[in-house]
Amino acid sequence: MLLRRLVYPQIISASKKLFLQNSRCINSNLSAKINILGIETSCDDTGCAVINGDGKLLSETVHSQNLMHLRNGGIIPDIAQDLHRTYIKPTVNKALEEAHITMEDVAAIAVTLKPGLPLSLAVGMKYAKHIARRYKKPIIPIHHMQAHALVARMHHKISFPFLVLLISGGHCLLAVAQDVDKFQLLGESMDCAPGEIFDKVARRMKLRNVPEYSKMCGGQAIETAASKATNPHQFKLPLPLAEYKDCNFSFNGLKTSVLLHLHRKEVYHKTVAHELIPEVNDLCAAMLMASTRHLIHRTQRAMIFCQENKLIPEENKQLIVSGGVACNNYIFSALQMLCNETSYEIYRPPPKLCTDNGVMIAWNGLEKWRKQIDIVKDFESLDIESVSPLGENLIEKVIAARISTKLMKINTKV
Ligand code: KG4
Ligand code: ZN
């Protein structure tokens, strides 16, 4: 994904220190000679990275299909597969080259096998098996969402258990990460993901026609347009699932309401083919604020559920926000406010590690390697899964708890 460069100087310098501390803790005999190659092809980015046993990132390469999909008005699975096929070998080779290693120096190949677009996942799996066979290396199968959840541990000292909010173009979920391979799902989207509605609405609003937004993904274009809003409150949007005392999400209704407002304004202004409505910035801001309120509302309840069910001890009150939508500074600031209120620490990976990338796959591979779990030498029977649960499903338990929450007031300007 093409993302606006966001700068987090204080986070980066603090995380560097933590990273060094972490690195020193690891037994150097065990770790120094280990290199994990990570391969990610679950959606539209061909990502690859090499991380050594000390957790040091040696290289990262990515071939983004964003521009092609922008041109096509969305991801076309066959085209995504073709592009993965074309770029997988050069992307892997470049990562090895930039890490100054060869396949002989690789201890294991971590590869995303689930969940994702089947045609895309298959390319990564086949290539990983091909090189694993050729160089006699084991494969570490990776769950894409677990990798999103754990990558923040690469830069921050975050101990298990912790709460995770994963918000991307394909997913929206709240979970507790108890360990590298133990997750508890508290809530998930019942229809689409926030990034998906941002992308669809941005397309329908014709934001691409504004040169400044022409190369941005939908979410980023909406965030930028929203920052120019002057009167977002002219658009009233509902709080999704307000009556449901669970941690699930729904974004479809919000999308429909935004599109209705858009349609009415287009009719009112008699806009022609390529024109945007004059209130486009305000409508983007209203949509961003409504999505944020929904995310806050469900996260608030998840925090109470964790406390009541002793899933996260007092000293571990940490929220990790990851996935492409976590790049959004308005959403992150609102979550920061919630965390201030509830005495949670909040973390998010740097923006390029929030969106899909090979680093999170290599990192998840290293976390598994350190625990010696899921290292598959006999990998021929490994297969992809387009849909895959994150872990233990606690959604019914959350529903049964019927926790009431008063939506926190968000005092942040778009
Ligand atoms: O995690 P990701 O790269 O791919 C999936 O696994 O879906 O997330 C991509 C999604 C896209 O829908 C994109 O519009 C959204 O993340 N996104 C954003 C921002 N940057 C990327 N959404 C809101 N604000 C942003 N700044
Ligand atoms: Zn993702």
The pLDDT tens digits of the residues spanning 142-199 come to 999 999 999 999 999 999 999 999 999 999 999 999 999 999 999 999 999 999 999 9
Is the pLDDT at 42 greater than 60? The verdict is yes
Residue whose Cα lies nearest atom 8 of ligand 1: it is 324
pLDDT of residue 224: 98
Q: Please give all residues whose CB falls under 5 A of ion ligand 2, grouped by chain where several chains appear.
A: 168, 356
Q: When comparing pLDDT for 239 and 65, which is higher? A: 239
Atom nearest to 116 CA in ligand 1:
6
pLDDT of residue 32: 54
Is the pLDDT at 22 greater than 60? The verdict is no
Instruction: Quote the tokens at residue 394.
Output: 């606690």
Is the pLDDT at 19 greater than 60? The verdict is no
pLDDT of residue 64: 85
What whole-number percentage of the chain has pLDDT above 70? 92
Q: What are 324-333's pLDDT values in tens digits?
A: 999 999 999 9
Q: What are 67-122's pLDDT values in tens digits?
A: 776 677 777 888 999 999 999 999 999 999 999 999 999 999 999 999 999 999 99
Burial class (CB in 10 A: 0-12, 13-18, 19+), 136: exposed
The pTM for the full model equals 0.90
Instruction: Quote the tokens at residue 42.
Output: 């679950």
CA distance 25 to 94: 30
pLDDT of residue 24: 37
Query: Which ligand ends up closest to the CA of 216?
Result: 1
Is the pLDDT at 1 greater than 50? The verdict is no
pLDDT of residue 73: 73
pLDDT of residue 66: 75
Residue 394 in contact with ligand 1 by CB distance below 6 A: no
pLDDT of residue 71: 75
* Beta-carbon-side half-sphere exposure of residue 122 (alpha carbons within 13 Å): 9
Q: With bands split at pLDDT 50, 70 and 90, how would you rate the model's confidence at 31?
A: low
Using the mean position of ligand 1's atoms as its centre, give its distance from the Cα of residue 13 in Å.
25
Q: With bands split at pLDDT 50, 70 and 90, how would you rate the model's confidence at 241?
A: very high
Q: With bands split at pLDDT 50, 70 and 90, how would you rate the model's confidence at 26?
A: very low
Q: What are 328-367's pLDDT values in tens digits?
A: 999 999 999 999 999 999 999 999 999 999 999 999 999 9
pLDDT of residue 414: 74
Residue 44 in contact with ligand 1 by CB distance below 6 A: no
Residue type, position 155, single letter: H
How many CB atoms are located within 10 Å of the residue 242 CB? 11
Q: What is the mean pLDDT of the chain?
A: 91
Whether 105 and 68 have beta carbons less than 8 Å apart is answered as no
For residue 372, report the phi and psi dihedrals to the nearest 5 degrees. 55, 50
Residue whose Cα lies nearest atom 14 of ligand 1: it is 219
Residue type, position 236, single letter: K
CA distance 95 to 357: 12
Can you give the three-state secondary structure of the chain, one letter per residue?
Answer: CCCCCCCCHHHHHHHHHHHHHHHHHCCHHHHCCCEEEEEECCCCEEEEEEEECCCCEEEEEEEECHHHHHHHCCCCHHHHHHHHHHHHHHHHHHHHHHCCCCHHHCCEEEEEEECCCHHHHHHHHHHHHHHHHHHCCCEEEEEHHHHHHHHHHHCCCCCCCEEEEEECCCCEEEEEEEECCEEEEEEEECCCCHHHHHHHHHHHCCHHHCHHHCCCCHHHHHHHHHCCCCCHHHCCCCCCCCCCCCCCECCHHHHHHHHHHHHHHHHHHCCCCCCCCCCHHHHHHHHHHHHHHHHHHHHHHHHHHHHHCCCCCHHHCEEEEECHHHHCHHHHHHHHHHHHHHCCEEECCCHHHHCCCCHHHHHHHHHHHHHCCCCECCCCCCCCCCCCCCCEECHHHHHHHCCCCCCCCCCCCC
Which of 9-23, 52-66, 287-301 shows the lowest per-residue confidence on average (mean pLDDT)? 9-23
Instruction: Quote the tokens at residue 262.
Output: 């858009």
Q: Which residue, 13, 28, 36, is CA-closest to 132?
A: 36
> Which of 45, 203, 327, 361 has most ligand 1 atoms within 8 Å of its beta carbon, as the pocket-test mutant?
327
Using the mean position of ligand 1's atoms as its centre, give its distance from the Cα of residue 267 in Å.
30
Residue whose Cα lies nearest atom 3 of ligand 1: it is 355
pLDDT of residue 112: 98
Q: With bands split at pLDDT 50, 70 and 90, how would you rate the model's confidence at 8?
A: very low
Atom nearest to 202 CA in ligand 1:
14
Whether 204 and 193 have beta carbons less than 8 Å apart is answered as no
Average pLDDT over residues 8-13: 33
Is the pLDDT at 214 greater than 60? The verdict is yes
Q: How many residues in total does the chain contain? A: 414
> Which of 112, 168, 292 has most ligand 1 atoms within 8 Å of its beta carbon, as the pocket-test mutant?
168
Q: Which residue, 394, 71, 78, is CA-closest to 203?
A: 71
Q: With bands split at pLDDT 50, 70 and 90, how would you rate the model's confidence at 25?
A: very low
Whether 80 and 120 have beta carbons less than 8 Å apart is answered as yes
Residue 220 in contact with ligand 1 by CB distance below 6 A: yes
> Which of 8, 188, 355, 414 has most ligand 1 atoms within 8 Å of its beta carbon, as the pocket-test mutant?
355
